[in-house]
Amino acid sequence: MSYHHGDLRRAMTAAAATAVAERGPAGLSLRELARLAGVSHAAPAHHFGDKAGVLTAVATEGFTLLAATLKEAGDDLLAAGVAYVRFAVDHPGHFAVMFDRSLLHADDADLREAEQASSAALAGLAPDASAARAAWSVAHGFASLWLSGAISGPDVVAAAEPVLRRVALP
pTM for this structure?
A: 0.92
* Domain-located, residue 70: yes
The tens digit of pLDDT for each residue in 2-58 reads 444 468 999 999 999 999 999 999 999 999 999 999 899 999 999 999 999 999 999
Show Cβ contacts of residue 85 under 8 Å, excluding neighbours closer than 6 positions: 139, 142, 143, 146, 156, 157, 160, 164
Confidence at residue 125, expressed as pLDDT on a 0 to 100 scale:
86
Q: State the number of CA atoms in the 13 A half-sphere of 145 facing the CB.
A: 14
* Domain-located, residue 120: yes
Domain at 55, CATH number:
1.10.357.10
* Domain-located, residue 85: yes
CA distance linking residue 104 with residue 27, whole number of Å: 15
The tens digit of pLDDT for each residue in 82-131 reads 999 999 999 999 999 999 999 999 999 999 999 999 999 888 888 888 88
Number of domains forming the structure of the chain: 1
* Domain-located, residue 58: yes
Q: Is 50 exceeded by the pLDDT of residue 1?
A: no
Residue 122 structural domain:
51-167
